[in-house]
Chain A
């Protein structure tokens, strides 16, 4: 294989995503030194496997390698945290049931929490994001910071699109909680007349 051609292709297709690779590693392992080591390890793997790259989106391809490298590291070094994250995901359905409140009170959704979040500084958002369980953090980072589609995220994370959607929803909710903004109540069936009238004839 022609080395200079391959080098040029790698430089054009993969190198532009070095920042994305480091960013994902940095958010997954949450410390700069390990992130740099892991991003480097992932880039070396990408170099090694590059001849097997057959088109497609190079960023998704690279981030899949980065994620795999980071999760191997997490399994070795932070097994408890990883187990906890998956455990929490498995139970998140039950948790969200708990947030079903009696409806009607409008103080929540007219609250100025929108401004609270909008005025959040980068530092608070970072700390909030850092506090999420790793699977939710990963989904939110890929969506909000990398702007990836659910399908791309599903491919990188090796889960279904539905799982991606619930991870992002849960991640955003957790992030808002961390920023001090509770969710608005669900309207339940035995809602007061006002809410019922609003809902109209929908089932």
Chain B
């Protein structure tokens, strides 16, 4: 990223409004660029100067009185008729019934869970879903999180969105540039989805919480022409899905696991 490109995004970076990939790129650039780092400081300085000096104007009393009078006038007390349409909260006693029903269902679910024998390996049941999700994401406009520009980000971008912190690295030098990140809900859990590119192909890496589960070695499967590699490590499930050849995908999985690739992988 050049200075000029970075300048265009610095403000968004300072305000925590960039998506994951742009945040990472900016941070990358800032490490080597004193003037841009200085711009960030300048924006932060200005921001704190503006919040230290309260610049907001408070409504004058006369305005408040006039508006209150107008409100009383516009919504007269006596006009009792039809039901209110704007946001009605559930009544108290109803909500107790619901709470009780929910608690009973929860108890039942917990009992059912305990009675079910050892769970199937999560990979087989879920990989179908991951493949579908990966394919869906390749439809135009779905690759990056549609809402990504709206996220209040800073790195780590997934903070506050997930109950775990997925490792995020850019393997551009190894020929797998990170191009997007988004939130997903797969295998009945919130998941981080990171999209990498391999030549003309895309690889989606899904990460979900695996708290309390043991590490598991890689398992491979193949569906509808897509390869899936899955493993569990450090209480996280990992799935990588792509239509690249299995060797490339294995190399990529090794990179993620910080292991040497099976063969030198250069583009």
Contacts and interface: CB of A to CB of B under 8 A. Distances in A.
A156 B119 CA distance: 50
Interface stretch (B39-47, B126-134, B193-201, B221-229): B39-47
Contacts of B48: 118
A200 B30 CA distance: 11
A25 B72 CA distance: 23
B120 interface: no
A115 B84 CA distance: 55
A26 interface: yes
Given A53-B86, A150-B17, A175-B46, A161 B150 contact: yes
Interface class of chain B by DSSP = helix
Interface residues on A, range: 35 or more
B45 A1 contact: no
Contacts of A168: 11, 15
A7 interface: yes
A151 B150 contact: yes
Contact of A15 (B28, B47, B51, B71): B71
Contact of A150 (B43, B72, B81, B150): B150
B17 A184 contact: no
Main secondary structure of the interface of A (DSSP, over half): helix
A145 B85 CA distance: 33
Given A2-B79, A22-B60, A117 B45 contact: yes
Interface string B62-77: 1110111011101111
Given A22-B57, A143-B15, A145-B56, A184 B62 contact: no
A198 B4 contact: no
A165 B11 contact: yes
Interface in A47-66: 47-48, 50-51, 53-55
A34 to B, nearest CB: 12
B32 interface: yes
Nearest to B13: A165
Interface string A160-171: 011001101100
24 contacts: A1-B81, A2-B84, A3-B75, A4-B75, A4-B80, A6-B86, A7-B77, A18-B63, A19-B56, A19-B58, A22-B57, A47-B75, A108-B35, A145-B55, A149-B152, A162-B149, A165-B17, A169-B10, A169-B11, A175-B46, A184-B35, A187-B33, A199-B33, A200-B32
Given A40-B66, A43-B70, 13 more contacts: A2-B82, A7-B71, A7-B75, A11-B71, A22-B57, A23-B57, A117-B46, A165-B12, A184-B35, A184-B42, A186-B35, A187-B36, A203-B2
Interface of A: 1-7, 9-11, 15, 18-19, 21-23, 26-27, 32, 35-36, 39-40, 43-44, 47-48, 50-51, 53-55, 96, 100, 103, 106, 108-109, 113-114, 117-118, 120-122, 125-126, 129, 143-145, 149-151, 161-162, 165-166, 168-169, 172, 175-176, 181, 183-189, 195, 198-200, 202-203
The 4 closest A-B pairs by CB, nearest first: A109-B38, A7-B75, A169-B11, A122-B53
